[in-house]
């Protein structure tokens, strides 16, 4: 990945959150590409765990003391010099040491929330990157939309989701009021501001429709004038009303907003809804790499070695792949993959999760014991049944031949899930490839035969039309390997009744059931008729 230049990253984050020290300079310039970020805390440094994140370009130092930070940056520089480190109130000694090894120091506003900053940085890296890469188009750049809107209508813009979490914003100036500043920092807005906004029904108006809402200044609260508009996904299918997904806020400064600000805001809301829809449907770079590893994407197969290095995973050793699918159509659980990912990450921090359509796949690198995996899968299915009312089926493929074998394993898992969808009773809720192999192969053979009616003996259809009871007897006789007593017990009739019916069947079909080839042909044909 080409990445995002350090300068471009800092511009997107804005001086409300971060500033480059000292005096906005970077030892190796602002054009160095940033592709990844890592969080490290004092325990990571003390226990030597921070080296596991050594491939990152920028680091967030959470609660790392000055002495620890100095020692860490010395050790880190021996392996790979970071592009930048982010720290709250960085000491002069740390700034000097970083400059000496060629690392920029970014001072983070003390009131900023680390989790929001980390989220925003990753959002910029995912959706604010190389414009020559067709997967990084501007149609997924909320930051770009916010800044373009701000430039066009002369206000300070922020874009929030339906839960009022800031997703992107334009550059601020010294006219930004406290509500905007604290919203960007990730801290809750002043209670009196939010209470006033709520009392006047502004949130209700934003959720209700697509008209621009005016919010007057409240000098006593330090609140400047604003315009706002709700972001809605259009009504589609079963959803009869537009879905509220967020808000665009525009804070006015001393300069009046453009005369056509409301018209432009309505257009921005449409674009924002489109972008947010694309972001929701489009996997992150990490997710795309996992999908490539599992063979879920079009195009050339993944370079396993390069993908493993990018994901920080060992390429060799036995791996386990689990495929999950719902046992029936269950609308309302669209975030099922995320829920499974939570469980998988708790079970194994190196678990990788990908989804496609209604299926979710969990990759566990270098898995040594199948028993613990089966126990975890069983627990996950039970927990989701209890907590969410979701019934899942799982197929376990183990061991795969390292990461190079997981695409083949995924294809085999899909074969089992496909067969289970056609014959849910034949395959258990939790199964392995080995356990399901006979059922799957027979199902696929029958499905293949059923796709071409020329391969089904027409005499069986004629027999079913003539006497369905004889068809049931033939099925029981064949499944009992010609054991009349066993077939009679299954049919709950006298053995002589079975013998009489078998003679009638042979006469009507003009075939001998003593012939093994006839028995094979009729057995497969009857299974096809069962599926019709």
The per-residue pLDDT for range 467-494, each reduced to its tens digit, is: 889 989 998 988 888 889 998 999 899 9
DSSP 365: S
Residue 319 lies in a domain: yes
DSSP track, 462-476: HHHHH-HHHHHHHHH
Pairing of strands 104-108, 392-400: unpaired
What's residue 102's pLDDT?
Answer: 92
If asked whether residues 298 and 333 sit together in one domain, one would say yes
Residue 135 lies in a domain: no
Residues 6+ apart with CB under 8 A from 454: none
Residue 332, sorted as left (phi over 0), alpha (psi -120 to 50) or beta, turns out to be: left
Segment 155-165, tens digit of pLDDT: 999 998 887 88
Per the DSSP assignment, residues forming a β-bridge with 430 are 394
If asked whether residues 175 and 275 sit together in one domain, one would say yes
- The CATH number linked to 236 is 3.30.450.40
Q: Burial of 297 by CB count in 10 Å (0-12 exposed, 13-18 middle, 19+ buried)? A: middle
Residues 6+ apart with CB under 8 A from 498: 473, 476, 477, 484, 487, 488, 491
What's residue 105's pLDDT?
Answer: 94
- The CATH number linked to 514 is 1.10.10.2840
Pairing of strands 104-108, 84-88: parallel
Which among 397, 415, 448 is the end of a domain?
Answer: 448
If asked whether residues 148 and 252 sit together in one domain, one would say yes
Which among 228, 258, 281 is the end of a domain?
Answer: 281
Q: Which domain holds residue 416?
A: 285-448
If asked whether residues 321 and 443 sit together in one domain, one would say yes
* Residues 111, 184 contacting (CB under 8 angstroms): no
Residue 329, sorted as left (phi over 0), alpha (psi -120 to 50) or beta, turns out to be: beta
If asked whether residues 269 and 323 sit together in one domain, one would say no
If asked whether residues 256 and 337 sit together in one domain, one would say no
Backbone angles phi, psi at 384, to 5 degrees: -70, -30
First to last CA, the chain: 50
SS3 35: coil
* Residues 60, 39 contacting (CB under 8 angstroms): yes
Low-confidence stretches of the chain (pLDDT beneath 70): 1-2, 47-55, 127-140, 187-193, 235-241, 281-284, 299-300, 328-335, 368-369, 531-532
The whole-angstrom separation of Cα 86 and Cα 62 is 9
If asked whether residues 477 and 505 sit together in one domain, one would say yes
SS3 334: coil
What's residue 233's pLDDT?
Answer: 85
Written as six digits, the tokens of 282 are: 């489009």
Three-state secondary structure readout of 500-521? HHHHHHHHHHCCCCCCHHHHHH
Written as six digits, the tokens of 223 are: 């609140």
Residue 133 lies in a domain: no
Backbone angles phi, psi at 5, to 5 degrees: -60, 145
CB 520: neighbour CB atoms within 10 A?
Answer: 11
If asked whether residues 422 and 491 sit together in one domain, one would say no
**What are the helix and strand counts (H, E) for the chain?**
21, 17
- The CATH number linked to 334 is 3.30.70.270
Three-state secondary structure readout of 9-20? HHHHHCCCCEEE
Long-range contacts of 125-130 (CB under 8 A, 24+ apart): 125/3, 125/4, 125/9, 125/34, 125/35, 125/36, 125/37, 125/285, 126/284, 126/285, 127/279, 128/4, 128/8, 128/12, 129/1, 129/2, 129/3, 129/4, 130/1, 130/2, 130/3
Residue 81 lies in a domain: yes
Of 177, 174, 183, which is closest to residue 112 (Cα–Cα)? 183
Alpha helices in 28-113 (DSSP H): 42-46, 66-79, 92-101
Residues 6+ apart with CB under 8 A from 444: 415, 419
The whole-angstrom separation of Cα 415 and Cα 395 is 10
Backbone angles phi, psi at 465, to 5 degrees: -70, -35
If asked whether residues 437 and 468 sit together in one domain, one would say no
What's residue 135's pLDDT?
Answer: 41
- Does this model's pTM top 0.95? My answer is no
Angle at 235 between CA 230 and CA 238, to 5 degrees: 140
Residue 134 lies in a domain: no
Which among 400, 429, 448 is the end of a domain?
Answer: 448
The whole-angstrom separation of Cα 325 and Cα 355 is 10
Residue 73 lies in a domain: yes
If asked whether residues 55 and 82 sit together in one domain, one would say yes
If asked whether residues 364 and 430 sit together in one domain, one would say yes
The whole-angstrom separation of Cα 232 and Cα 247 is 9
What's residue 300's pLDDT?
Answer: 65
CA atoms within 13 A on the CB side of 384: 26
Tracing tokens 């796709």 back to the chain, one arrives at 451
**Domain count across the chain:** 4
CA atoms within 13 A on the CB side of 109: 19
SS3 108: strand
DSSP 242: P
């Amino acid at each position: 990945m080409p990445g995002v230049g350090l300068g471009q990253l800092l511009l997107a984050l804005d001086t409300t959150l971060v500033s480059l020290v000292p005096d906005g300079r970077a030892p190796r310039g602002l054009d160095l590409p940033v592709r990844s970020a890592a969080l490290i805390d004092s325990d990571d440094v003390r226990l030597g765990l921070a080296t596991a994140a050594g491939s990152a370009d920028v680091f967030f130092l959470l609660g790392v003391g000055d002495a620890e930070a100095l020692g860490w940056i010395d050790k880190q520089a021996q392996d790979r010099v970071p592009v930048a480190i982010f720290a709250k109130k960085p000491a002069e000694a740390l700034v000097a040491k970083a400059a000496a090894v060629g690392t920029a120091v970014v001072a983070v506003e003390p009131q900023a929330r680390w989790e929001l900053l980390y989220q925003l940085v990753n959002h910029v890296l995912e959706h604010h990157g190389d414009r020559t890469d067709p997967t990084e188009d501007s149609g997924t750049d909320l930051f770009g939309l916010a800044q373009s809107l701000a430039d066009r209508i002369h206000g300070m813009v922020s874009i929030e989701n339906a839960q009022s979490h800031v997703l992107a914003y334009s550059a601020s100036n010294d006219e930004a009021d406290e509500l905007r500043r604290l919203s960007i920092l990730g801290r809750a807005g002043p209670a009196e501001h939010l209470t006033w906004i709520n009392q006047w029904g502004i949130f209700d108006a934003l959720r209700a429709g697509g008209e621009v809402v005016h919010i007057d200044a409240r000098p006593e609260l330090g609140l400047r004038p604003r315009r706002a508009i709700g972001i809605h996904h259009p009504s589609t299918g079963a959803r009869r009303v537009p879905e509220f997904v967020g808000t665009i806020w525009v804070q006015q400064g001393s300069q009046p907003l453009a005369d056509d600000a409301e018209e432009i805001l309505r257009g921005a809301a449409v674009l924002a809804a489109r972008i947010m829809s694309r972001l929701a449907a489009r996997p992150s770079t990490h997710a795309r790499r996992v999908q490539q590893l599992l063979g879920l994407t079009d195009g050339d197969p993944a370079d396993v070695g390069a993908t493993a290095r990018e994901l920080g995973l060992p390429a060799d050793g036995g791996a386990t792949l689990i495929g999950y699918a719902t046992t029936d159509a269950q609308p309302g659980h669209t975030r099922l993959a995320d829920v499974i990912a939570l469980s998988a990450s708790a079970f194994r921090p190196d678990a990788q999760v990908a989804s496609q359509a209604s299926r979710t796949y969990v990759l566990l690198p270098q898995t040594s014991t199948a028993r613990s995996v089966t126990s975890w899968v069983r627990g996950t299915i039970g927990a989701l049944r209890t907590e969410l009312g979701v019934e899942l089926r799982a197929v376990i493929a183990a061991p795969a031949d390292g990461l190079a074998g997981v695409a083949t394993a995924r294809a085999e898992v899909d074969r089992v899930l496909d067969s289970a969808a056609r014959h849910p009773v034949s395959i258990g809720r939790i199964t392995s490839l080995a356990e399901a192999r006979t059922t799957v192969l027979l199902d696929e053979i029958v499905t293949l035969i059923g796709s071409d009616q020329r391969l089904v003996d027409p005499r069986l259809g004629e027999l079913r039309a003539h006497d369905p009871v004889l068809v049931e007897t033939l099925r029981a006789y064949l499944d009992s390997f010609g054991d009349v007593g066993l077939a009679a017990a299954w049919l709950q009739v006298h053995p002589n009744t079975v013998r009489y019916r078998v003679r009638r069947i042979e006469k009507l079909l003009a075939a001998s059931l003593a012939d093994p080839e006839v028995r094979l042909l009729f057995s497969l044909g009857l299974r096809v008729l069962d599926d019709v």
